[in-house]
Amino acid sequence: MKKIFYSFALMAVVGLSSCSKDEVKLPDIAVNFAASETGIEPSAESVNVGITLSRAASADVSVSISYTAEGLSYGADFTSVPAASGNSIALTVPSGSTTASIQINKTGDLYDGTENIVFTIVSADNSVKIGEQSSTKLSFSSIVSTGGQMTLEGKTEASPYANAVYVDFSQNSSVSVSRSSWTLGFYCGTEFRVFLNPSLQMAAGVTSKSDIASVTVADTAGVPRLVANMMAGQLIPVESVDDLEGRLNQTVFAEISANASENKVYLVAFEGNSATPEDYYKVKVTRNGESYSVQYGKLGGGEIKSANIAKDAAYNMVCVSFADGTTSKPEPRKWDIQWSYNTGLTSMAGSPAVYWMQDYISSNSLANTQVAEVIIPTSEDTNEKKTAYFNNFTETSLAGLSFSTKRNTIGSGWREVGGMGGAAGIKTEKFYVVKDSDENYYKLRFLKMGVGSDGGERGRPQIEYKLVKAGN
């Protein structure tokens, strides 16, 4: 019996040893252009042409891209970052990342809209293969895309939700921006409004004082809670964040008055600056003609910095970063939806409270983007039937839909991440119709998000969108 036991034990050890030598072979990494065609609007000065890797590589990937320009001359009509050498551009995808882009800048004065550049992936190193989408066309005019599929690049090596991703369906474009690249946004419309960065765990409250120098830690007693204490059951109240629906008249900051003495000092806390009240910032915003003037500094003491923010009518907002004092325009000129880590709501003892969450979808309410939810009938109970229902949704199906301009119409309602009684994953029983600022109607559904069993990657959700009706 001992011999039999030892024989089985030896077989098990050998089997385990053999299995340990077998490594799971990952699929080859492929490089593709993010879209088959992209447009640059007449009013835009630049555009990004992106490439994507099917998964991140452990080392930098150098990609050689050739281009052919029609009706354009490099230098006189356009330049690129990275710069071209001959008719070739060398682009690098950093290790751990899946995206890189070429920035094309206009340098000429007159374009008739027929100009275009065709880019082609020629080679890639580190055994990366060229995928099926090996070429793309950039038109120097607005296009109206008929639709496609897109992976939203929110993930970086540091975090699965490091970026906010802006999508413009009609131009087949997406732009990834670090969610921590700005602190406050300043509205470029007719009103003078200040926005909190909803992706930065940001909350704010107004003090009773107008002189920023006189505001101290003691003034925190007069504002609503800015930091949650989950262990004590204390959450941040909804009045400490901007309205989730995007209503301009319900920002935490009151509209900035032309009378400087009427503008109060605000206290703001956000990710990385909320450990103690001394870490909070105090902020005073006034008008300077048609621009904004902002003063800000740590509540616990130190230098009071200042910046002047000029409005730009081509954008929703111009932003300032408290981290480095820079101003920027993180949002592209035109976008329809944004995927990001964002401010949402939960409840405690029946009262709404602030909660920050991943995989949140906002719509561009400031540009009058509208969204309608479509519920697929329960009779369409298989994935194949749901896909067919989505595909068969046409212009005649628009009748009877109720469109909303609320920024959070989609919000977190498209998915379930578990812990709330539902199965984790995308809610496949629904999709959305998005009406953009040019009155193009696109149907939108979510394919993968890396939660549940969809086979996706968290931080790189995949979407499908199709043109239902073109605008006038």
pLDDT single digits (tens) 414-449: 999 875 556 799 999 999 999 999 999 999 999 999
Q: Is the separation of the CB atoms in 196 and 242 below 8 Å?
A: yes
The CA distances from residue 194 to 104, 177, 251, in Å, are: 31, 20, 7
Checking if the pLDDT of 311 tops 90, the result is yes
**Domain end: 142, 176, 208, which one?**
142
In a domain, 460, yes or no: yes
Domain that holds residue 265: 184-328
The answer to whether residue 275 is domain-embedded is yes
Same domain (yes/no): 323, 358: no
pLDDT greater than 80 at residue 279: yes
- Please indicate, yes or no, whether residues 194 and 301 belong to a single structural domain of this protein: yes
Whether 298 and 410 share a structural domain: no
pLDDT value of residue 293:
98
pLDDT value at residue 422: 64
* Local confidence band at 127 (pLDDT 50, 70, 90 cut-offs): very high
Q: Which helix (H) or strand (E) holds 11?
A: helix 2-21
pTM above 0.85, yes or no: yes
pLDDT bracket for residue 6 (50, 70, 90): very low
**Assign residue 181 a region: left if phi > 0, alpha if psi is -120 to 50, beta otherwise?**
alpha
With respect to residue 9, please indicate whether it lies within any of the assigned structural domains. no
Give the confidence band of 15 by pLDDT, cuts at 50, 70, 90: very low
* Backbone phi and psi for residue 291, each to the nearest 5 degrees, phi listed first: -115, 175
Q: What is the pLDDT of residue 13?
A: 40
**Is the pLDDT assigned to residue 17 strictly greater than 50?**
no
**Would you say residue 369 lies in a domain?**
yes
Average pLDDT across the chain, whole number: 92
- Distance, in Å, from the CA atom of 93 to the CA atom of 91, rounded to the nearest integer, reads 7
Q: For the residues 23-37, what does the mean pLDDT come to?
A: 86
* 40: in domain: yes
Which of 328, 353, 377 represents a domain boundary (last residue)? 328
Amino acid found at 291: S
Taking only the tens place, the pLDDT of each residue in 179-215 is 999 999 999 999 999 999 999 999 999 999 999 999 9
Question: Do the domain assignments include residue 236?
Answer: yes
Q: Does 179 reside within a domain? A: no
Residue type, 315: Y
Residue 78 CA to its chain's centroid (Å) = 27
Same domain, 388 and 320: no
Judgement on whether residues 302 and 409 belong to the same structural domain of the protein? no
pLDDT of residue 190: 97
Do 36 and 78 reside in the same domain of the chain?
A: yes
The pLDDT score that the predictor gives to residue 420 is 54
Domain membership of residue 14 (yes or no) is no
**Is residue 244 predicted with pLDDT exceeding 50?**
yes
Query: Once rounded to an integer, what is the mean pLDDT over residues 338-352?
Result: 89
Same domain, 313 and 416: no
Residue 463 phi/psi, 5-degree rounding, is -125, 160
- Cα angle, residue 432 at apex, residues 429 and 438 outer, rounded to 5°: 170
Q: What does DSSP assign to residue 270? A: B
pLDDT of residue 232: 76
Name the nearest CA neighbour of 185 among 256, 84, 79.
256
- The answer to whether residues 214 and 296 belong to one domain is yes
The pLDDT score that the predictor gives to residue 26 is: 80
- Kindly state whether residues 343 and 321 are assigned to the same domain: no
pLDDT of residue 8: 40
pLDDT(253) > 50: yes
Do residues 323 and 189 share a domain? yes
- If one counts the domains in the chain, the total is 3
Q: Are residues 319 and 341 in the same domain?
A: no
Residues 132, 197, single domain; the answer is no
Instruction: State mean pLDDT over 279-305.
Output: 97
